C-alpha cells in the first residue's frame, strides 16, 4: 500500500482536486523550480573554484573543505532559528525566498571582497544560514499547488536544487573565469532566483498548516519506529551525498588533468541527479516512498564502492560511472522528509522534520572533511569507499520500514496534504 494512502488529508482547505487548473499547476511548478535552480547557485560556488582558491590562499585540502562545511553548519543554524521563530507564519514563503536569496548572494559576494580564507569562513556560514530561507520556503510554495502527484512535484523541486548546486561548476568551466567573477555571477543568479519566485510565482489553492517546532515533543517522535527508520535512511543518504558533491570536481581534476574538463564533468554528474530525482518521485507515487528510496540507496552505495578505484580507467568509463552515481545519489532525497510527514502525528511534523534534517546536515560535516584526508593518505578509491556504508545502512532501514508498514497499521495519521515544507 503506498505510503501516501496511509491517512486522511490534514491541514488543507476543502478544495476538490478536480478544480485545480493543471496547466497553471505545472506552470507554477516550473517557475518555482527555475527559481530554485538560480537561487541555489551559491551553495557550492567555492567548491567549484576550490583549485584556484587553494593556489591563491595557500590552502590545504582539509582547510578548503571548511568552505563547504560552513555552509552546511550555517544551514542548520538558519533552519533551526527559522523554526523557533516560526517565520513561515510571519513572512509569505515566496517573500522569504527572496529575502534568503538576497542575503545568501550578499554573503557569497563577501568572499570576493574579503579575499582571504579567514574572511571566507564566516561569509560561507552566513550564506548557508540564508539558504535555509530559500530551499524550505520554495517547497512550501510548491506545496500550495499539489495535493496529488506529490512524488513527481517533489522530484522536480529536488532536481532543481540539484541543478542549481551544479551551476557554479558550469560557470567556472565554460566561462574560464577567475574565481572572483565566478562567485559574483553565482550571487547574481541567486538574486535573480529570488526575484523570479517573488514576482512570477503565485499561491496555489491548497493551504498547508504551518509545521511548528516544539522540542517538548521529541520523546514522542523518537518513540515512533517509522520515524527512526526514515531518519536512519536519511542519515545514510546525507553521509554520502554532500561529500560526493563537494569533492567530485577534485576527483575529475585528478582523473583528467584539466580544470575545465573537471568542471564540465562535475556539472554533468551533479546535474543528472535532477533526472534521478524525478524518476524516484514518480516511482514513489506508483509504489511506496521507502521502496523508491531503497532503490536509489542501493545503486549509490554500489557505485561508491568502485568509483574512486576507476580513476585511471579510460575517460568514458570514469565519466560514465560518475553519471550513474550522480543519477542515484540524490534521487532518494525528497522521500525521507515525505515519509516523516506521513508517519508522524500531524501536530509534531515540524519538530520531526527539524530533528531529522538538522542531524542529517551535521553528519555531512564529517564526510566532507574526511574525504580529502583519506584521499591524501590512501587515494580516491578508499576516500569514496568511506561513503558507501551510509547508503548501505539507509537501504537496510528502508527495507525494515517496508516490512513494518506491511505488517502493522500506522500509529499516526498521515498527512496527504501537499508536502509540508521542512522547518516551516
Q: What is the pLDDT of residue 416?
A: 44
CA distances from 288 to 21, 56, 148, 339, 355 (A): 27, 49, 14, 9, 23
Q: What is the pLDDT of residue 307?
A: 97
Residue 259 binned pLDDT confidence (cut-offs 50, 70, 90):
confident
Q: What does the alpha-carbon distance between residue 128 and residue 69 come to, in Å, rounded to a whole number? A: 9
Q: What is the pLDDT of residue 20?
A: 59
pLDDT, average across residues 362-381: 94
pLDDT, average across residues 304-327: 96
Task: Select the highest-mean-pLDDT range: 23-27, 37-41, 91-95, 350-354.
Answer: 37-41
Q: Specify the higher pLDDT residue, 76 or 19.
A: 76
Exposure string over 182-199, b if 16+ CB within 10 A, otherwise e: bbbbbbebbbbbbbbbbe
Q: Specify the higher pLDDT residue, 350 or 30.
A: 30
Q: Specify the higher pLDDT residue, 216 or 399.
A: 399
Mean pLDDT, rounded, of the chain: 85
Q: What is the pLDDT of residue 291?
A: 93
pLDDT, average across residues 292-310: 96
Domains belonging to the chain, first-starting first, are 22-209 (1.20.1250.20), 216-410 (1.20.1250.20)
Residue 1 has pLDDT above 60, yes or no: no
- 7-16, 32-41, 149-158: segment of lowest average pLDDT: 7-16
pLDDT, average across residues 234-255: 95
Q: Are 243 and 368 in contact (CB under 8 A)?
A: yes
What is the 3 state secondary structure string of the chain? CCHHHCCCCCCCCCCCHHHCCHHHHHHHHHHHHHHHHHHHHHCCHHHHCHHHHHHHHCCCHHHHHHHHHHHHHHHHHHHHHHHHHCHHHCCCHHHHHHHHHHHHHHHHHHHHHHCCHHHHHHHHHHHHHHHCCCHHHHHHHHHCCCCCCHHHHHHHHHHHHHHHHHHHHHHHHHHCCCHHHHHHHHHHHHHHHHHHHHHHCCCCCCCCCCCCCCHHHHHHHHCCHHHHHHHHHHHHHHHHHHHHHHHHHHHHHHHHCCHHHHHHHHHHHHHCHHHHHHHHHHHHHHCCHHHHHHHHHHHHHHHHHHHHHHCCCCHHHHHHHHHHHHHHHCCCHHHHHHHHHHHCCHHHHHHHHHHHHHHHHHHHHHHHHHHHHHHHHHCHHHHHHCCCHHHHHHHHHHHHHHHHHHHCCCCCCCCCCCCCCCCC
**Residue 111, Cβ density class (10 Å: 0-12 exposed, 13-18 middle, ≥19 buried):** buried
Residue 63 has pLDDT above 80, yes or no: yes
pLDDT, average across residues 336-365: 82
Residue 311 has pLDDT above 90, yes or no: yes
Residue 422 binned pLDDT confidence (cut-offs 50, 70, 90):
very low
Q: What is the pLDDT of residue 381?
A: 97
Percent of the chain with pLDDT over 70: 88
Residue 310 has pLDDT above 70, yes or no: yes
Residue 409 binned pLDDT confidence (cut-offs 50, 70, 90):
low
Cell readout for 105 is: 548572494
- 53-62, 136-145, 371-380: segment of lowest average pLDDT: 136-145
Q: What is the pLDDT of residue 386?
A: 97
pLDDT tens-digit map of 101-114 = 999 999 999 999 99
Residue 5 binned pLDDT confidence (cut-offs 50, 70, 90):
very low
pLDDT, average across residues 375-395: 96
Q: Specify the higher pLDDT residue, 99 or 12.
A: 99
pLDDT, average across residues 67-72: 93
Q: What is the pLDDT of residue 88?
A: 67
Amino acid at each position: 500500500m503506498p505510503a501516501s494512502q496511509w491517512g486522511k488529508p490534514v491541514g488543507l482547505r476543502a478544495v476538490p482536486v478536480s478544480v485545480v487548473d493543471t496547466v497553471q499547476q505545472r506552470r507554477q511548478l516550473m517557475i518555482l523550480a527555475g527559481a530554485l535552480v538560480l537561487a541555489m547557485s551559491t551553495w557550492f560556488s567555492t567548491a567549484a573554484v576550490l583549485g584556484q582558491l587553494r593556489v591563491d590562499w595557500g590552502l590545504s585540502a582539509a582547510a578548503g573543505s571548511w568552505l563547504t562545511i560552513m555552509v552546511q553548519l550555517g544551514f542548520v543554524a538558519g533552519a533551526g532559528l527559522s523554526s523557533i521563530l516560526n517565520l513561515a507564519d510571519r513572512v509569505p514563503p515566496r517573500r522569504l525566498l527572496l529575502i534568503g536569496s538576497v542575503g545568501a548572494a550578499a554573503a557569497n559576494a563577501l568572499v570576493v571582497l574579503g579575499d582571504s580564507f579567514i574572511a571566507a569562513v564566516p561569509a560561507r556560514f552566513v550564506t548557508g544560514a540564508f539558504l535555509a530561507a530559500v530551499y524550505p520556503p520554495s517547497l512550501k510554495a510548491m506545496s500550495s499547488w499539489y495535493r496529488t502527484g506529490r512524488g513527481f512535484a517533489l522530484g522536480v523541486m529536488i532536481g532543481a536544487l540539484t541543478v542549481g548546486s551544479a551551476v557554479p561548476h558550469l560557470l567556472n568551466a565554460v566561462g574560464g573565469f577567475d574565481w572572483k567573477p565566478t562567485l559574483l555571477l553565482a550571487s547574481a543568479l541567486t538574486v535573480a532566483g529570488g526575484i523570479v519566485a517573488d514576482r512570477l510565482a503565485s499561491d496555489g489553492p491548497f493551504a498547508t498548516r504551518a509545521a511548528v517546532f516544539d522540542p517538548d515533543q521529541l520523546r514522542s517522535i523518537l518513540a515512533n519506529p517509522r520515524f527512526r527508520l526514515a531518519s536512519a535512511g536519511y542519515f545514510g543518504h546525507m553521509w554520502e551525498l554532500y561529500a560526493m558533491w563537494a569533492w567530485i570536481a577534485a576527483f575529475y581534476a585528478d582523473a583528467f588533468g584539466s580544470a575545465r574538463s573537471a568542471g564540465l564533468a562535475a556539472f554533468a554528474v551533479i546535474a543528472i541527479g535532477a533526472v534521478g530525482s524525478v524518476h524516484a518521485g514518480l516511482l514513489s507515487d506508483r509504489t511506496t516512498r521507502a521502496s523508491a528510496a531503497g532503490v536509489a540507496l542501493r545503486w549509490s552505495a554500489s557505485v561508491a564502492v568502485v568509483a574512486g578505484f576507476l580513476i585511471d580507467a579510460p575517460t568514458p568509463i570514469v565519466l560514465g560511472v560518475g553519471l550513474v552515481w550522480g543519477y542515484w545519489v540524490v534521487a532518494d532525497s525528497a522521500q525521507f522528509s515525505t515519509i516523516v510527514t506521513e508517519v508522524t502525528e500531524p501536530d509534531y511534523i515540524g519538530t520531526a522534520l527539524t530533528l531529522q534534517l538538522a542531524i542529517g546536515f551535521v553528519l555531512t560535516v564529517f564526510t566532507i572533511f574526511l574525504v580529502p584526508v583519506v584521499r591524501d593518505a590512501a587515494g580516491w578509491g578508499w576516500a569514496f569507499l568511506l561513503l558507501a556504508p551510509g547508503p548501505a545502512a539507509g537501504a537496510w532501514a528502508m527495507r525494515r520500514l517496508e516490512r513494518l508498514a506491511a505488517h502493522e497499521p500506522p500509529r499516526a495519521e498521515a498527512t496527504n496534504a501537499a508536502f509540508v515544507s521542512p522547518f516551516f
